[in-house]
Amino acid sequence: MGGAISITGMGVICAIGNDSQSVLDSLKRKESGIGPMKYLQSVHTDIPVGEVKLSTGQMRQMLGITGDNPVSRTSVMGAIAVREALSQAGIKNLEGKRVALISGTTVGVMDVTEQYFERMKTEPELQYLPHSNECGRSTHEIAEYSGLGNARCCTICTACSSALNAIMLGADMLKNDEADIVIAGGSEPLSRYHLNGFNSLMILDRQRCRPFDETRAGLNLGEGAAFVVLEKDVPDALAYVSGYANRCDAFHQTATSKDGDGAYLAMSGALAMAGIRPEDIKYINAHGTGTPDNDASETAAFRRVFGDRLPDMSSTKSYTGHTTSASGSVEAVICILAMLNDFVPASLGWSKMIPGGYVPTMGRSGADLDYVMCNSFGFGGNDSSMILSKNRPSGEDAPIMDESRVRVAARKVISDDAELALLKEYLSPMETRRMGKIMKASLLSAFEAMKEAGLEKPDAIVAATSKGMLELSNMFLEEIAQNKEELLKPTLFMQSTHNTIGSAIAIRTGCHGYNITYSQGDDSYYWAERDARMLLRKGEAKAVLVCSFDENLLDGRTKDFKAESIIYTID
Amino acid sequence: MEELILNLKEQIIDALNLEEMTPDQIDNDAPLFGEGLGLDSIDALELIVILDKFYGIKLANPAEGKAVFKSINSIADYIKKNRTK
């Protein structure tokens, strides 16, 4: 058990470079990669984006992918970053090693689905394409294109915190001796789907984003992929993962709490695991999207953790755009580049302080960065923070309790339309008005299971889904097609990320604890149950709620569904 | 004005999924957000879509909506003054 979690390789592709070296060069030259869209097909050409400066075809070529089957940008960007990471780690022979590939994504293969959405309805030969947002598929493709065909694959879908959560899972698996080598990170392409979704939420700036500036008016979407190779106890590694935490704001699906509760808890948790004080942190790579909401609430959380003495802080989304599900690993790689090259990346676009806020750094060289903090926050208030260190931490972990002490305290399945009326006992019509059947069934199964177990609030929530919020995603795709990307309903988009249900349970139960959603086809539940058992055995929770859900559609609407909630406890 | 208010309420009930409500249950003067009907930030965005779609009024910044969306009466007044269709 234990052992320092060592980062032995890293790879990245994003708007400011196709590999680590070119990303480093752009950061040092303070050159942003945000500009007019070139590869994404959308009517909203006035919206600036941070695109990878390669077509999907060029990336296929780089990877030697032949044939003319459509391939998602998620898969090719991911494979390019994984290949770079493996090459830097000097890993050639994986024979006999237990290897896992963990990727964070929420768009998944949606960029392909949306291109063929209309044609898929009538052309049977296109039916093999994913008529769903099965994220796990992109992770299998990344493994295939990067020579990791035999790796165990796992996909985490917690919106914009996905990739940082993937690195956390990788670190946990090494600590628990479940793998020898883990390649963890995330990949997210630009898609018409989420560009229109963010546009419907009115949080896209028509100019370059200005994180932490008083006049900030929203974010710029970006795309990219980044992965790190994690191994245990390697001396002189690139960097070490010394602390991390995932917590839930449990406030609103798309808005953040005023005091940044989730962000505060995540940063505090990461510091506690690393066993260091706030003043030990030398640089913070903030989530800093540039939306009025995020930056205000992240600032409030900084105030609670660091008081008046905030370390150098910047948002590198001013270079890359917000690479959403990939942002956690893209920015973790940027943090490692900063540590290795003794510099602090500048925040671009800033000129005027938020009243009571902080001045982000304009960049600094000759900085000795022992400890850096990387923040990554997602929809549903899914807030993660990670501390990376230059020097090898002691790596002592708490002992884990025996598997035989884990109990199933309650289990409840909801799969019948007629049962959904029971939700009235728990929620008002105002609270249920936006919910589709799968959301109602999941919440009802969670409430009923908690009642049976005599549990008021779980300590952690883990969700599992193969296809995600299928009906809502299809309705939003349909709207995009019908309305030609104009006047779209934010209500549909805001509930369409895979972690909507995990977040909704947290909001309704007030659970600020760990909150992760897995989407790996038929293995989704395996990963969720594994996670719940480990949380209990490590003493991080006394009761964990695991909710698995999926639905099938007929003519774009829910045909049948099944939601199951299980309460796991420890003696 | 009465017809405008009735249409507006029907559009709001539809866009905000207030399925169990009828137009006469929404008080013209009652606050829509917070203590009143209890709408949230996503509802405010849906109201902006309604203004654009049915009345040709574009609000570029969600913050502008705050004063407009106080009550049904305040929205109706704003529509009357600014509508382009």
Nearest CA-CA partner of A56 in A96, A112, A138 = A112
- Are A18 and A226 in contact by the 8 Å Cβ rule? The answer is no
Amino acid at the residue A152: R
Sign of CA dihedral A67, A68, A70, A73: positive
Distance of CA B25 to the CA centre of its chain: 15
Of A253, A434, A490, the CB nearest to B45: A490
pLDDT at B1: 87
pLDDT for position A331: 98
**Please, what is the average pLDDT of chain A?**
95
Out of B19, B42, B53, the one facing A491 most closely (by C-beta) is B42
Average pLDDT of adjacent 10-residue blocks, chain A of 571 residues: 86 98 98 98 98 98 92 97 97 92 96 89 74 83 94 98 98 95 98 98 97 98 98 96 98 94 98 97 98 97 98 98 98 98 98 97 97 97 98 79 97 97 95 96 98 98 96 94 96 96 98 98 97 97 98 91 98 89
pLDDT tens per residue, range B60-80:
888 889 899 999 999 999 999
SS3 content of chain A, % helix, strand, coil (to 5): 40, 25, 40
Q: Do domains A5-389 and A403-570 have the same CATH topology?
A: yes
Could you say which of 1.10.1200, 1.10.1660, 1.10.3470, 1.10.238 is the CATH number of the domain covering B2-20+29-82? 1.10.1200
The answer to whether the beta carbons of residues A369 and A312 sit under 8 Å apart is no
What is the distance in angstroms between the Cα of A548 and the nearest Cα belonging to chain B? 26
Q: Which chain A residues contact residue B22 at CB under 8 A?
A: none
Quote the CATH superfamily of domain A403-570: Thiolase/Chalcone synthase (3.40.47.10)
The shortest C-alpha distance from B84 to chain A (Å) reads 16
* 3-class secondary structure, A299: helix
Q: In the CATH scheme, what architecture does the domain A5-389 have?
A: 3-Layer(aba) Sandwich (3.40)
- Count helices and strands (H / E) in chain A: 17, 19
3-state secondary structure of A226: strand
| Cα nearest neighbour of B49 on chain A | A487
Residues of chain A found within 8 Å of residue B20, distances taken between Cβ atoms: 429, 433
Q: What per-residue confidence (pLDDT) applies to A262?
A: 98
- A541 min Cα distance to partner chain B (Å): 32
Is residue A525 classed exposed, middle or buried when 0-12, 13-18 and 19+ CB atoms within 10 A define those classes? Answer: buried
ipTM: 0.95
Closest CA to A283 of A231, A353, A356, A340: A340
Q: What is the model's pLDDT at position A133?
A: 65
Contact assessment for residue A35 and residue A43, using Cβ atoms and an 8 Å cutoff: no
Among A420, A430, A489, A503, the strongest candidate for a mutation testing the B interface, having the largest count of B CBs within 10 A, is A430
* Residue A120, pLDDT score: 83
Closest alpha carbon within chain B to A489 = B46
DSSP state letters, A329-369: HHHHHHHHHHHHTTEEPPPPS--SBPTT--PPP--EES---
CA-nearest of A221, A154, A230 to A190 is: A221
Residues of A with a known catalytic role: 160, 287, 322
* List of residues 6+ apart from A93 with CB closer than 8 A: none
Using a CB-CB cut-off of 8 Å, the residues of chain A touching B61 are: 202, 217
pLDDT at A1: 43
A429 close to B (CB below 8 A)? yes
Most distant pair of Cα atoms in chain B: their distance: 32
Cβ distance B45 to A433 less than 8 Å, yes or no, reads no
Quote the tokens at residue A532.
Answer: 């719940």
Helix, strand, coil percentages, rounded to 5, for chain B: 60, 0, 40
Measured between beta carbons, which residues in chain A are less than 8 angstroms from residue B11? none
Which DSSP state fits B47? H
With CB atoms and an 8 Å threshold, state whether B48 touches A433: no
pTM of the full predicted structure? 0.97
pLDDT tens-digit readout, A17-67: 999 999 999 999 999 999 999 999 999 999 999 999 999 999 999 999 998
Q: Where are the domains of chain A?
A: 5-389, 403-570
Other Cβ atoms less than 10 A from the Cβ of A252: the count is: 18
Give the residue among A529, A278, A539 at the shortest CA–CA distance from A397.
A539
Q: Are A171 and A332 in contact (CB under 8 A)?
A: no
Contact A364, A312 (CB under 8 A): yes
A-B C-beta contacts closer than 8 Å: 42
How many Å lie between the alpha carbon of A299 and the closest alpha carbon of chain B? 20
User: Which residue's structure tokens are 């808005």?
Assistant: A255
Residues of chain B found within 8 Å of residue A200, distances taken between Cβ atoms:
45, 49
SS3 A538: coil
Would you say A514 and A508 are in contact if contact means Cβ atoms under 8 Å apart? no
